[in-house]
Every structure is written in structure tokens, then in C-alpha cells.
Amino acid sequence: MTQLSYRAAFSLIVKRDLMIAFRHRDDIINPLLFFIIVVTLFPLGVGPESTTLSRIAPGIIWVAALLSTLLSLDRLFKSDHADGSLEQMLLSPHPVFILVLAKIVAHWLLTGLPLILIAPLLAVLLHLHESSYGALMLTLLLGTPVLSLLGAIGVALTVGIKKGGVLLSLLVLPLYIPVLIFATSAIDTAAMNLPYNGQLAIIAAIFFASLTLAPFAVSAALKVSTN
Amino acid sequence: MMWKWLHPYANPETSYHFAGKILPWCTRLAFAFLTIGITWALLFAPADYQQGDTFRIFYLHVPAAMLSMGIYLGMAIAALSSLVWQLKLADASAAAMAPIGATFTFIALVTGAAWGKPMWGTWWIWDARLTSELILLFLYLGVIALHNAFEDKSLAGKAAGILALVGVINLPIIKYSVEWWNTLHQGATVSKLGQPSMSADMFWPFLVCFIGFSFLVTALICLRFRSEVLQRNSMRPWVRSLITNEEKAHAV
């Protein structure tokens, strides 16, 4: 019996998750639609003045991104847990954190990346300050992987619970707050034509810390949940 | 060496009785220290030259805030030892600490708001330290919710333990928030090593209050720890005999 290399196992899981997602396209499109609709609600609720909108645009886009990531998190482990393939993954000879990281990468490719691609369009609708576009894209590029990584911990903890949806948001949203604070602060600073390297560096630090530590927490949590 | 001394307390019955033994002492000490400390702080300690008598809320606010972080640290250490060394009782103590910590966080936030109104002119401000203390409250509530979500207590303990450990990252953020960000909340006055930046006749009543609150927390933890142990071991013979003895005592 030949042993799969770590890299092969990683890419196998990414491919498998992407293929499953492409066969259920709604799973990719629905969180994105939710993102667009939430952003659309704000100009209707707050009023269409462009000065107000451009002032609150970073916050709106980022909060909508948090919420739509939260909605899509369930997909990460729930169906695999239901049909038993998650247990098979945990039983496989490969280190669990590699498989977990592969699933998180696939999740980011399916939810984070489309979000980044559509964000500039929504920023135009919200009259975001012209000098902030670079900051918006960079914070989303560094920040959305953090959302997937930290969210995975929450899903892994609640996957065994029947009605884990509300609980999931209670667990995950507090962990998202630092990313939200630094991302919106970077975009605001960019709007004033000031350097925003500092905030970006902190988001990058959060990204690397969660990239290295979250997979271990997720695999420990999955072992608890599947018992 | 240390394990030899500690290992009897891995037995639920032994630690149940040990907690029962120190509980009355902690309660008495807490009562004594708090009576002296609060009387001293509210009536005899000098008023602040800038803030007047308003500053006396300090004697409740600062111990509550320090203990809210201390209890979280204790809970995280208990969670770590339960995950690494599989100590079942560590789960029970982490479960016992979470609601107490949440209460102290809430007290710190409410007294802070009451202090902020006369001093800053506002109940609440999105200052770094206030926000991170609020996140601490959310983390406590998440841990409690996770504990309640599982039927199986040992699974609940492990899951909540992982969440508690992830949340530890918030503690240094709260501690150093006043140094990293120049915001409205004043810097540390008490815990500066060497010389606290307050005069001795204000510092001593604070210390007495702080020790009193610490004993109060220990007593509350012992109380909740005992009931957690009883719940988790309700089918064991020693708990049953304990209950029958209790019933006999009440019947007479």
C-alpha cells in the first residue's frame, strides 16, 4: 500500500471540497447574495447622502463580510460530520491539522475570495473614499482567511450539537472583533491619505498566528466533537 | 515530589471534602477583610484631590477588574490541565469559575460606567480597555453557553476548555491596552512594580479590599466546585452515602 505524501493529501482534500461545492453551486452563491443584500440595506436604512455613506462604508462592508462568512461556516464540517467522512479523515494516518488546513483553504477559496472580488463594486455603491480602495482590498485579503480560520474553531466545537447555529455566532463573533477593529481603522486611515502600514502589519500578524495555531485547535475540537 | 503531594486531590471525594474544609475559612476571612477594607475605603481613606469622593468606587472597580482577568487565567490553566493531563476535576473547577468570572467582569463594567459618568461625562466610550473588557464578558458567556450546550459533562468541559484557551489572547490585550493605545482610560496605578503611583493611605485600604474580594472569589469557587463535583459524580456510592447521611441528619 502506498502512502500519500502530506502535500498530496492536502491537495486531494482541497480538490474534493471544491468539487462538492461546485456541484451545489447555491452554497457558494447564497452567502455572496447575503453579503450584497446586507450592504444594500444600509443606504436604504441610513439614507442616501454620499458623505454619510462614505464615512460608514468600511464598517458596513466589513460587518457584512463577517456575517456572510458566519453563514457559510456551517458547510465546513457539518455535511462531512453527517455522512461520516469526517470520522474517516480523523482516523486516517495523516496528521489531522493538514486535513483541517486543507478544508479551511477550500472554504476560503469558496467564500473569502468571491467576497474580495465583489467588494470593490459594493464600495462604489457606498461612495467609499477613492484613496481607500487599496486598503479595503489588502485588509480583506489578509483578514478573510482569519475569518475562515477562527470560524473553523467555532464550527469544530459545535458540529456535534443539534442546534449549534446561534451558539456558533456567540462563540465566533467575539473572536472576530480584533480583525474588524484593525481593518476598518486601516481603511479610515487610508481615506485621510495617511500611511496604514501599522494596522496592516497587525492584521498580518493575526493572520499568521491563526494560520499556525488554529488548525491545532480545530483538530483538538473535532476530536472532542466526534468523540 | 509535587505529584505525590497533589495526587490525592485527583480523587473527587477528597477534593470535595477539602473544598468543604477551606470554604468556611475563606468565607470568614472574606467577611473580615471586606468589612475592614470597605469601611476604611469609604469613610477614612482621603478623598482624591482631583476626583473628590467619586474616586472611592475605585475600591470596588479595580479589584473586580483584576479578578475578572485573574479568574479567566485560572479557568484557562484549569482547562489546559484538563486537556493535557486529562484531569477530570480540572473540568469541574473551570466550569465552577466561568459564571463567577462573568459576574466580576459585569461588575467591573457597571462600576466603570458609574465612574465614567461623573469623570468623563459619559457612561460608555469605545475605548480600548472598555472594549476588550466587554469582549472578555462575551468570551465568558460563550464558555458558559458551550458548557450548557452539551449533555455529556466531560465533553462540555473539553469543548469549553478549547474555547477558553483560544480566548486567553484577550488577556494581554486588556492588560496592556492602556499602554498600547493612548485612550481615555487611565493607566495602571496599582500594579506598577516597585512603587505604586498612589499614596500609601489610599493604597492600603485598596490592598485590604482586594484581599477580601479574592477570598470571596475563592469561597464562591469552592461552593460551586462542590456542587459541580456532586453533579458529575451523582451515581457514585460516596455521593449516595453522603446524601443518605444528610437525610438522616435532617430527619432527626
In 3-state terms, what secondary structure has residue B191? coil
* A36 Cβ under 8 Å from any chain B Cβ: no
Question: Measuring CA to CA, which residue among A45, A193, A208 is closest to residue A130?
Answer: A193
* pLDDT 10s digits, B129-181: 788 888 899 999 999 988 888 888 888 888 888 889 888 887 887 777 766 66
Q: Report which residue type is found at B186.
A: Q
Are A174 and B155 within 8 A, CB to CB?
no
Q: Which residues of A131-141 are buried (b: 16+ CB within 10 A; e: fewer)?
A: ebbebbbbbbb
The beta-carbon neighbor of A224 closest among B138, B155, B165 is B155
Q: What is the pLDDT of residue A177?
A: 86
**CA separation for the pair B246, B231 (Å, rounded):** 16
Q: What is the pLDDT of residue A2?
A: 64
* A170 Cβ under 8 Å from any chain B Cβ: yes
Are A220 and B131 within 8 A, CB to CB?
no
Which residues of A fall within a CB distance of 8 Å from B138?
A: 170, 173-174
Q: What is the pLDDT of residue A100?
A: 92
* B189 Cβ under 8 Å from any chain A Cβ: no
- Its pTM stands at 0.82
> Has residue B191 got a pLDDT over 60?
no
* pLDDT 10s digits, B14-27: 888 888 888 899 99
> Has residue B11 got a pLDDT over 90?
no
Q: What does the angle CA A163 – CA A169 – CA A175 come to, to the nearest 5 degrees?
A: 140
Question: Across chain B, what does the average pLDDT equal?
Answer: 83
**CA separation for the pair A28, A21 (Å, rounded):** 7
**CA separation for the pair A115, A148 (Å, rounded):** 12
In 3-state terms, what secondary structure has residue B52? strand
- Are A35 and A64 contacting, i.e. CB atoms less than 8 angstroms apart? yes
Are B150 and A171 within 8 A, CB to CB?
no
ipTM above threshold 0.90: no
Residues 6+ apart with CB under 8 A from B19: B222, B225, B226, B229
Confidence label for B250 from pLDDT (cuts 50, 70 and 90): confident
- Are B75 and B98 contacting, i.e. CB atoms less than 8 angstroms apart? yes
For B9, the grid coordinates are 486531590
Question: Measuring CA to CA, which residue among A220, A137, A113, A217 is closest to residue A175?
Answer: A217
Are B145 and A170 within 8 A, CB to CB?
yes
Question: Measuring CA to CA, which residue among A119, A179, A126, A120 is closest to residue A148?
Answer: A179
Which residues of B fall within a CB distance of 8 Å from A150?
A: 166
Q: Work out the percent of chain B whose per-residue pLDDT is above 70.
A: 88
DSSP label at residue A196: -
Which residues of A fall within a CB distance of 8 Å from B148?
A: none
**CA separation for the pair B47, A49 (Å, rounded):** 50
Distance from CA of B147 to the nearest CA of A (A): 11
The beta-carbon neighbor of B135 closest among A170, A174, A221 is A174
Please give the span between the terminal C-alpha atoms of chain B, in angstroms, as a whole number: 45
Are B138 and A161 within 8 A, CB to CB?
no
Closest residue of chain B to A214, computed from CA coordinates: B166
Are A174 and B139 within 8 A, CB to CB?
yes
* pLDDT < 50: residue spans in chain A: 1
Q: What sections of A74-160 are H helices per DSSP?
A: 78-83, 85-91, 96-107, 113-125, 133-158
* pLDDT 10s digits, A38-71: 999 988 998 888 888 888 899 999 999 999 999 8
- Taking the CA atoms of chain B, what radius of gyration do you get in angstroms? 20
Interface test with chain A among B162, B169, B177, B183, by most A beta carbons within 10 Å: B162
Higher pLDDT: A192 or B128? It is: A192
* A161 Cβ under 8 Å from any chain B Cβ: yes
Q: What sections of chain A are H helices per DSSP?
A: 6-23, 25-46, 50-73, 78-83, 85-91, 96-107, 113-125, 133-158, 165-191, 197-226
DSSP label at residue A4: P
- Are B9 and B89 contacting, i.e. CB atoms less than 8 angstroms apart? yes
Confidence label for B190 from pLDDT (cuts 50, 70 and 90): low
* A157 Cβ under 8 Å from any chain B Cβ: yes
φ/ψ (deg, to 5) at B195: -125, 120
* B154 Cβ under 8 Å from any chain A Cβ: no
* pLDDT 10s digits, B199-213: 777 788 888 889 999
* B156 Cβ under 8 Å from any chain A Cβ: no
> Has residue B214 got a pLDDT over 90?
yes
Confidence label for B193 from pLDDT (cuts 50, 70 and 90): very low
Which residues of A fall within a CB distance of 8 Å from B165?
A: 217
- Are B119 and B132 contacting, i.e. CB atoms less than 8 angstroms apart? no
Question: Measuring CA to CA, which residue among A159, A153, A147 is closest to residue A217?
Answer: A153
Confidence label for B197 from pLDDT (cuts 50, 70 and 90): low
Which residues of B fall within a CB distance of 8 Å from A221?
A: 159, 162
* pLDDT 10s digits, B89-122: 888 889 999 999 999 999 999 998 888 888 777 8
Confidence label for B195 from pLDDT (cuts 50, 70 and 90): low
* A164 Cβ under 8 Å from any chain B Cβ: yes
Q: What sections of chain B are H helices per DSSP?
A: 2-6, 12-39, 58-85, 88-120, 128-149, 153-167, 170-180, 200-232, 237-251
Which residues of A fall within a CB distance of 8 Å from B158?
A: 224
φ/ψ (deg, to 5) at B48: -70, 145
Are B166 and A153 within 8 A, CB to CB?
yes
